[in-house]
Each structure stands twice: as structure tokens, then as C-alpha cells.
Amino acid sequence: MFRRHRREDAEPGYDSDTAQDDPERFDDPDELDEDEDYGYGAVAASSGSGDEWDEGSGPWDGAGDFPQHDRIDFGSLLIPVQPGVEVEVKVAEGVGVWITLRRGESSIELMAFAAPKTSGLWAEVRQEFADEVAKAGGDSREAQGPFGIELHARLHPGGEGRRGQLEPVRFMGVDGPRWFLRGMIRGPAAQHPHLAEPFEELFADVVVVRGDHPAPPGDLLEIRLPHDAQQALEEQLAQEAGPAWPNPFERGPEITETR
């Protein structure tokens, strides 16, 4: 299943499509164990260890060899297709376009960026995320995961009356050849390793197509809708063309692809 959403006030990690208002979905902060390791290895000793990308295990570089699986071509990202996984394209003013893969009550958001030839971005981005989480009243720590060092955070979803709830979020990052791929797992899978495994497999099977064009480090790589999906969206928008001012309470255009 494949959908496109447009939100002018969204940012990755905070969209109303997630049932984060349900207190049963996320643990009470008073009940969380500060020493819990999410089922992975020990907390990383430093931000300079465990960050090596293994080109033989994925995520994959589009300029190299990679397993020929069924994937959706979004230009800079080739997204693996698996039964029961919903693929969404999300657009946000001031942020850009990213891909969300949803399975049950959990999801992973994927964004790919241009990176320097000689160094990666993940160590710097990880620290920036940790600083932003702290400023927002949450907490985070580094831990060793299947793709190297990760950032495990607990965030306030925001909104009046919800400051007591902390949402677990798991940030993963991989520095490839002139690209950086970031994955953010949300929902129960952010805290329970057995629920995270399908998302780790999806993340590992993503292909990043950097291209030869120059781009400043940190620039979001372009996401393009597949031709059939773009055509269907244009037809749907043409059919729905009407008032100059859209109704803010109506759901936006969607494309659904079932495989």
C-alpha cells in the first residue's frame, strides 16, 4: 500500500497519523527503567566508535552491487516492498519530502542526504538530535545497534495536556559514499527489539541512489513519485479541483498501491 500525504505544518517525527495520543501505546515516564538497553548491546563508549558502514550488508549504494529485490523507485531511494507494509510519501513545508514505512502501530521514517566525500554526517547529526531532544524536555542516549551507534530518545509529543507522556523514538544512521541515510523508528517497535526486527530488515534493504550531481552536504536528496503514482495523483487532483480555498478538515489526496 502506498500513500502520499501533504502537511504544511509537519516535521518528521510529529504527525497526527500516529496514535501517540493513546497512553497505552507508550510507557509512563515514571515506569521506564533508565538503565534499559532496548535489548541491544551496551551503551556506546564514545561517538567515534561503531559507525563503520558495511557495504556488504546494506543499506545499499545504488552505484554498487545490491540484491535484486522488489523495490519502489523514488529516485534517490529504492524502497523494499514487503507484505503488510504501507509506504507513504510525506511532504512538509520547510522540511521536504520523506518516506514512511508503516507496519501495524509502528513506523520508520526514511530520509537520505548528500554527504562529504571524505567524512560522514551521522556523528554530528546524532549530537544535534540529542541537543534538540534535551531542549524539548526529553532525554536520549547512545547505544550500539545493528548498524552501529544509534540514538535512543524519549520525546514529549507536544500538545496541551500531553506533557506527561514520553514517546520512545529510535534514530539510526548510516554514512555511505557521499550520502547519509537516516531512519527513525516510532511506536512500540522503538522500544521492543522483536517488533523492530522487520524495520531493521527494511532499513538494511534500502538502496540509496546518490547520483553524480554536486550537492552541499546535508541537502535532502530528491524524492520522486513513480510515474504511475504521479499520473494517478495528477488525475485525482484534477477531478477534485474546485474551490480556491481548500477545506482544512478534509483529508488530502492519497494514492494507494497494493501489492
CATH of the domain at 226: 3.40.1000.10
Inter-residue contact 50 to 151 (CB < 8 Å) = no
The pTM of the full predicted model, rounded to 2 decimals, is: 0.74
Widest CA span of the chain, in angstroms? 58
- 67: exposed, middle or buried (C-beta count within 10 Å: 0-12, 13-18, 19+)? exposed
For the chain, what is the domain count?
1
For residues 200 and 190, give the distance between their C-alpha atoms in angstroms, rounded to a whole number: 11
Q: Which domain holds residue 62?
A: 2-10+23-240
pLDDT digits (tens, 9 = 90+) for 65-111: 999 989 999 999 999 999 999 999 888 877 788 999 999 999 999 99
The Cα–Cα gap between 101 and 107 comes to 5
Structural domain contains residue 97? yes
pLDDT tens digits, residue range 151-186?
999 998 764 445 568 899 999 999 999 999 999 999
Asked whether residue 251 is assigned to any structural domain, the reply reads no
Amino acid 239: pLDDT? 73
Judge whether 49 lies within some domain.
yes
The answer to whether residue 28 sits within a structural domain is yes
Asked, for residue 110, whether it belongs to a domain, the answer is yes
Does residue 228 fall inside a structural domain? yes
Those residues with Cβ within 8 angstroms of residue 229's Cβ, 6 or more apart along the chain or in another chain:
2, 4, 255, 257
What average pLDDT does the chain have?
77
Report the pLDDT value the prediction gives residue 93, as an integer from 0 to 100: 77
* Cell (9 digits) for 182: 537516516
The pLDDT tens digits of the residues spanning 21-54 come to: 343 333 443 344 444 445 544 444 333 334 565 6
Predicted pLDDT of residue 241: 64
β pairing state of 207-208 and 139-145: unpaired
Point out which residues pair with 60 in neighbouring strands.
Answer: 207
226 pLDDT higher than 60: yes
The number of helices, as runs of H, and strands, as runs of E, in the chain is 3, 12
Query: Tell me, what's the pLDDT at 126?
Result: 97
Higher pLDDT, 90 or 242: 90
256 is a domain residue: no
Amino acid at 218: G
User: In the prediction, which pLDDT does 22 show?
Assistant: 40
- The set of residues, in sequence order, having a beta carbon less than 8 Å from that of 74 and lying 6+ positions away, is 89, 99, 223, 224, 225, 226
Q: Is residue 188 part of a domain?
A: yes
